[in-house]
Amino acid sequence: MPFRRSKGLVKWIFENQHKMQSVRRCSSLARYKEMEDSAASEHDVSGPKTRPEITPEISFKHDDLQVRLAAPYQLQTKPDAVELGFGKYFTDHMLKIHYSKHLGGWQKPEITPFENLSLHPAAKALHYAIQLFEGMKAYRGVDDKIRLFRPELNMERMNLAAQRSGLPMFDGQELIRCITRLIQIDQEWVPHSETSTLYVRPTLIGTEPTFGIMEPESALLFVILSPVSAYYQTRGDGAVSIFADPAVVRAFPGGVGNRKVGSNYGPTIEATARAAKLGHQQVLWLFGPDRELTEVGAMNIFMVYINDQGERQLSTPPLNGLILPGVTRRSILELASQWEDLVVKEEVITMDRLEDLNDRGRLLELFGAGTAVVVTPIANVGYLHRNIRVPTTSQPRPVYRRLRDTLLAIQYGHVDHPYAKVIA
Amino acid sequence: MPFRRSKGLVKWIFENQHKMQSVRRCSSLARYKEMEDSAASEHDVSGPKTRPEITPEISFKHDDLQVRLAAPYQLQTKPDAVELGFGKYFTDHMLKIHYSKHLGGWQKPEITPFENLSLHPAAKALHYAIQLFEGMKAYRGVDDKIRLFRPELNMERMNLAAQRSGLPMFDGQELIRCITRLIQIDQEWVPHSETSTLYVRPTLIGTEPTFGIMEPESALLFVILSPVSAYYQTRGDGAVSIFADPAVVRAFPGGVGNRKVGSNYGPTIEATARAAKLGHQQVLWLFGPDRELTEVGAMNIFMVYINDQGERQLSTPPLNGLILPGVTRRSILELASQWEDLVVKEEVITMDRLEDLNDRGRLLELFGAGTAVVVTPIANVGYLHRNIRVPTTSQPRPVYRRLRDTLLAIQYGHVDHPYAKVIA
C-alpha cells in the first residue's frame, strides 16, 4: 500500500471525524449539554446541519385526539409479573396518527383498541427500511402515581431521526400529550412493582405503496405499550457478558449510527446471534484501527477506573456520530458530574486502554446504560479468543449501583426530581 | 494526529479490505464467475463464510401451492402504458409464504387476491428493519412468450441476504416455480411492449411481534407484481446526472452493502433528496480516502475509456463487500468479455482517475446497469461544486447501447440465449 494512500486515509478519517475531535476537546462536564446540542447540530457529520425546525401549525394536535375504547370482550388478561419478559405482551389500546401529503399532512390522532396494522405490501417501510422508533418507560411510583422520564429528549431524538429518514416531523409536546392520554387509558397495565414497568414504543414508518427509493408521501406514527421486566436474562448478580469482535462494524462516519432508525439493528442480528452462541448477551461495537469502544446496541457503555492522577473516574465514549445519544447516558453524565468523589469525562476508550487498565488492577467497573436495560453491570468482555474479566460486581460500593439506585429513585418517585414527569 | 494512529489506520483498512485486494488481483474475466462465487463466500468480509446450505426438506414446495383466485369484481382495470411509471400499479394476485418456527418452519405457499398485509404493530420488520427484497422482471417476448432473466441468481442473492438477516432460507427453485405460477395467473398484466415490463418484487420480512433484537421466529415471504415503464424520468436521450458527495457513505467494511436488505436504502433517502434538489437523479456512492466509486444505489456503475495501451476498455469496480452483486452487472461482464474489440476489467476507479481520463479526452462513456434501470447512460457527474460532463451519449457506436440492445434482445426473445427462461 503506497504512502500516498496512507496519507490520504488519515486525511479522510480526519475530515470525517473532525467533530469527533471537537467533541473530545470539550472535556468539562459543565459544558455537557452544550456539547450534546452541538453534536446534534453543526458538528455532526452524519446528521442534519441544524436543529429541526418544528412548525407547530403543521404538527398533529392532542386537542384533535379521538378515542375509541375497546369493548369489554376485547380486554385482555394481564400476565403475571414473572411471565413478562421484554416486549412480549401488549396493552388493550394503541395510538395511531396518519400522515398524508395528499391530504395536507398530519391527520387527527386516534386511540383505538390494540389491533393489527393493515399495510399495503408495497409500503416503503417494508422494502427500504423507512422506519424509526423510540423507547421510553412509564413507572408506577411509590406514591402510586405514574411518571415518564425526560420524554422531551425522546421526542427530540425522534424528530432528528425523522428528518434523517425523509419522514415528517411533528411537535414533540403534542405527541407527549397523546401518549399521556394513551397511558392514562391503559394505566392498569403499568405494573405495581419496582422491578417492572410499562415500556412505551413510539414508531414512525413510511407507508407510501410505491417502489421509488425516495421520501414517502404517506406515513404512520403509532405508539404501543408493553409491560416489561428485566431486558437481560442473567445470572444472580444481573451482570452480563459482551463480545467485542473487531471484524464487525455497527456504524460509520456519514451513516446513521446516531439516529434511532431500524437500519441500525437488522444488520446486527447475525453478529449478535454469533455472540450468543459463545455465551455472551450482546455485542460491544468497536470502531477504527485503535478499536475504540462505541456502544453495545441496546445500551451505551461506561467505565469506572483509577486515572493517572489516582482519582476514581467515570468515562464514556463521546458522541461522535457513531453512537446513539442515550437519554440514560446523558442523565448519568449529568447526575454523576455533581458527585464530589468522582471525575466524570467523555473520552475515547480503546480496547488496548481497557485491557491495560484491567491488567494493572485499575479498571473497577464496566456497565451499560439505556432505557430498556437501566444500568447493567458487565462482568466479562470476550475479545480475540480470550475473556477479559472485569471486577464490576465485586466492588464494595460500585458506581453502577449508585447510579442505578439514583435513577430508579427518580423514576419511581422516591425523590422529587425535574427529570420525572407525573402523568397520572 | 500522532503517527502511531495513522499507521494503525492503514493496518485497519488493510485488514478490513484484504479481500478487496484479493478480488482486485483476479483480473481475468475468464475467472469472473469464480470470483463472484468466492466474493460471496470466503473472501467476503461482510458476508457469510460459506455458501448457504439449503436443505430441500425444510423449504416450502411449489407442489403444496394453494391458489385462491380473485373474484371478477376484484379485478382491476389495467393502466395505460404511458401512466405506468415505476412501481405504482399492482396486479390482481400475490404470493404469500408464511414461516413459523413454532409450526415447524415454512408453511404452504398460497396465491391470493392482492390485498393489504395484516401485521402485528410489534413485528420486527417495522422496528429493526429485519427485511430484504429482490427485483426481477418478466418480459413479453416478440413471440408473445413470457421470459424471466436468470432468476436463479436472484434466488441465490435472496438466500444470502436471508442468512445475513437472521431470516429463514429456502430452495430458490421452489420459489421460482411459485413465482412462475403467479405470473401465469396474472399474465395479461405483462405489458405487450418492449418499453415496459412486469416487475417482480419478492420480499421477506420478520413478523415476530416482540421487542428483542434477535432472529425472528416467524416471517413472511411475499411476492407482488407491478407493470412498469422506465425507472428514470429523463431528457430525450435517456441520460441521467448523478451526484458524488464524498461526505456521505452508503456501506462500509463489516456492513451489509453487498446484500439486498432494506437497511441499505432508508439511510440514503436524505442524500438522494439533496442530490435531487441540485438536479441529479441519483447519488454516486464513494468510499475511502481515494474516493473510490462503488455503486449508485439503484444500479452498478460502468466506465468505458481508452486505456494506457490505447485499447477501449470497459471497467466496473470489483465486488468488495460494499457493492451489490448485480445480475445485470454480472451479465454485462460475461457478455462483453466475449467481444473482440473491448478489454473488460473489474478494477478500482477513483474520482481522480475518472476526472483525469475525462480531462485527457480518454473517458468515453459512463453508465449504470441494473434490473430496474436496464442500462442507463450517465451524462454528468456533480462533484465538489463542479460538473464533470461525460460524452457518453455523443459516441458514434457506444458500448452502453450495444449492451442494452444485447440484453433486451435476450430478454424479449429476439435471440435464444440460456440467460432467458420461458415461463409462459
Average pLDDT, chain B: 89
- Over 50: is that where the pLDDT of A35 sits? no
Record: contact B266-A129, CB cut-off 8 A: yes
Show residues of chain A in contact with B228, CB under 8 Å. 211
Q: What residue ranges in B101-154 does DSSP mark as E strands?
A: 105-106, 110-113, 117-119, 131-133, 136-140, 146-149
Pick from A93, A145, A87: nearest CA to B124: A87
Residue type, B132: L
Q: Which residues of A148-177 are buried (b: 16+ CB within 10 A; e: fewer)?
A: bbbbebbbbbbbbbbbbbbbbbbbbebbbb
CATH number given to B240-413: 3.20.10.10
What CATH class is the domain A62-229? Answer: alpha beta
pLDDT tens column, A156-185: 999 999 999 999 999 999 999 999 999 999
Record: contact A213-B269, CB cut-off 8 A: yes
pLDDT tens column, B47-81: 334 445 555 448 999 999 999 999 999 999 999 98
User: Chain B interface, mutation test: which of A18, A24, A213, A290, most B Cβ atoms within 10 Å?
Assistant: A213
Record: contact B256-A273, CB cut-off 8 A: no
Q: What is the ipTM of this complex?
A: 0.90
> What pLDDT is attached to residue A52?
52
**Among residues 52-81 of chain A, which lie with CB inside 8 Å of chain B?**
none
Q: Does A180 touch chain B (CB under 8 A)?
A: no
> What pLDDT is attached to residue B50?
44
- What predicted TM-score, i.e. pTM, was given to this entire model? 0.90
Show residues of chain B in contact with A126, CB under 8 Å. 117, 125-126, 131, 203, 205, 262
Residues of chain A within CATH 3.30.470.10 domain(s) are 62-229
Average pLDDT, chain A: 89
Q: How far apart are CA B88 and CA B180, in angstroms?
A: 22
- Let me know: does B87 contact B199? Beta carbons within 8 Å: yes
Three-state DSSP class for residue A314: strand
- Let me know: does B135 contact B200? Beta carbons within 8 Å: yes
Record: contact B267-A256, CB cut-off 8 A: yes
Record: contact B10-A13, CB cut-off 8 A: no
Task: Count other C-beta atoms under 10 Å from residue A334's C-beta.
Answer: 15
Residue spans of chain B under pLDDT 70: 1-57, 235
Q: Does A164 touch chain B (CB under 8 A)?
A: yes
Q: Does B125 touch chain A (CB under 8 A)?
A: yes
Q: Does A127 touch chain B (CB under 8 A)?
A: yes
pLDDT, mean of residues A244-264: 94
Ramachandran assignment for B27, one of left (phi > 0), alpha (psi -120 to 50 degrees), beta (any other): alpha
Of B120, B209, B249, Cβ closest to residue A254: B249
Residue in the structure block whose three cell numbers are 485486494: B21
> What residues contact A95, with CB distance under 8 A and at least 6 apart?
A109, A110, A111, A178, A179, A182, A221, A222, A223
> What pLDDT is attached to residue A87?
95
Q: Does B214 touch chain A (CB under 8 A)?
A: yes
Cell numbers for B411, please give them: 430478454
Closest CA of chain B from A80, distance in Å: 17
Of A121, A214, A222, Cβ closest to residue B121: A222
- Over 90: is that where the pLDDT of A236 sits? no
Beta bridge partners of B201: B224
pLDDT tens column, A128-151: 999 999 999 999 999 999 999 999
Show residues of chain B in contact with A289, CB under 8 Å. 5, 8-13
Residues of chain A within CATH 3.20.10.10 domain(s) are 240-413
- Over 90: is that where the pLDDT of A407 sits? yes
Task: Specify the range with the lowest mean pLDDT, choosing from A22-31, A68-77, A252-261, B262-271.
Answer: A22-31
Of A85, A210, A262, Cβ closest to residue B88: A210
Of B87, B125, B222, Cβ closest to residue A210: B87
Q: How far apart are CA B60 and CA B58, in angstroms?
A: 7
Show residues of chain B in contact with A210, CB under 8 Å. 86-88
Show residues of chain B in contact with A118, CB under 8 Å. 116-118
Closest CA of chain A from B263, distance in Å: 4
> What residues contact A52, with CB distance under 8 A and at least 6 apart?
A159, A160, A162, A163, A169
Of the pLDDT bands very low, low, confident and very high (cuts 50, 70, 90), residue A54 is low
Q: Does B261 touch chain A (CB under 8 A)?
A: yes
> What pLDDT is attached to residue A109?
98
> What residues contact B55, with CB distance under 8 A and at least 6 apart?
none
> What residues contact B300, with CB distance under 8 A and at least 6 apart?
B316, B323, B324, B326, B328, B329, B368, B369, B370
pLDDT tens column, A289-341: 999 999 998 999 999 999 999 999 999 999 999 999 999 999 999 999 999 99
> What pLDDT is attached to residue B4?
37
Residue in the structure block whose three cell numbers are 450534546: A36
> What pLDDT is attached to residue B36?
44
Q: How far apart are CA B91 and CA B69, in angstroms?
A: 12
Nearest residue of B to residue A248, measured between CA atoms: B254
- pLDDT over 70, % of chain A: 86
